[in-house]
Chain A
Amino acid sequence: GESVGLHLPTLSVQEGDNSIINCAYSNSASDYFIWYKQESGKGPQFIIDIRSNMDKRQGQRVTVLLNKTVKHLSLQIAATQPGDSAVYFCARGRKTSYDKVIFGPGTSLSVIP
């Protein structure tokens, strides 16, 4: 079946270091890949997305890389801060109006001061 999964359920990084959160997917028929951040006690919040015809997209302190050959997606956070501690979800979507977004199980990022 179709799936979106993450390589590691937890990740700890030192404050100031770069973080890399990985995600693998099985279905190639996706138009968007999206990263969400969920802080404790809150709903997920959109971070960044990337279309399937792109390899890389940069935002503020975040970069998403898409490797369609190996069906792998990564989120890189530069100079990780304590406020980055959260659960990160990758998700895939399609531009077909009635299709749904599929979420991975999440990676919990802990930033060590």
Chain B
Amino acid sequence: EAQVTQNPRYLITVTGKKLTVTCSQNMNHEYMSWYRQDPGLGLRQIYYSMNVEVTDKGDVPEGYKVSRKEKRNFPLILESPSPNQTSLYFCASSLFGGGEKLFFGSGTQLSVL
């Protein structure tokens, strides 16, 4: 089944404790992206990747890192999480990017205390 898999689904952590949210897609998509979703603000892009080893900042990249060492995986790293990073995070992928149909994961609800 074609899908984007994120883990974990829920995560509670404390300020400053490094964490990684994993994302994997099985559709051989070139493009992958991370979004955060906050009430009243819709989906805002954090980082995106056009291919292996090619990443770029979205609208809200501060406090986040990503890597794309393999085509299927695109982990999101919070080196030193802060409470303002409490949010619902979604990973998404599409064949080539640029507005094409995005496939989303089920989301990761992160709480930073």
Q: Please give the residue numbers on chain A whose beta carbons come within 8 Å of chain B beta carbons, in ascending order.
A: 9, 30-32, 34, 36, 41-46, 49, 89, 91-101, 103-106
Contacts and interface: CB of A to CB of B under 8 A. Distances in A.
Contact of A93 (B42, B90, B92, B99): B99
Nearest to A44: B104
A103 B43 contact: yes
Contacts, number: 74
8 contacts: A43-B92, A93-B98, A97-B96, A97-B98, A100-B45, A100-B58, A101-B33, A103-B43
Interface of A is mostly: loop
Interface of B: 4, 33, 35, 40-45, 48, 50, 56, 58-59, 90, 92, 96-107
B39 to A, nearest CB: 9
Contact of A97 (B45, B50, B103): B50
B100 A32 contact: yes
B97 A45 contact: no
Contacts of A89: 42-43
B90 A43 contact: yes
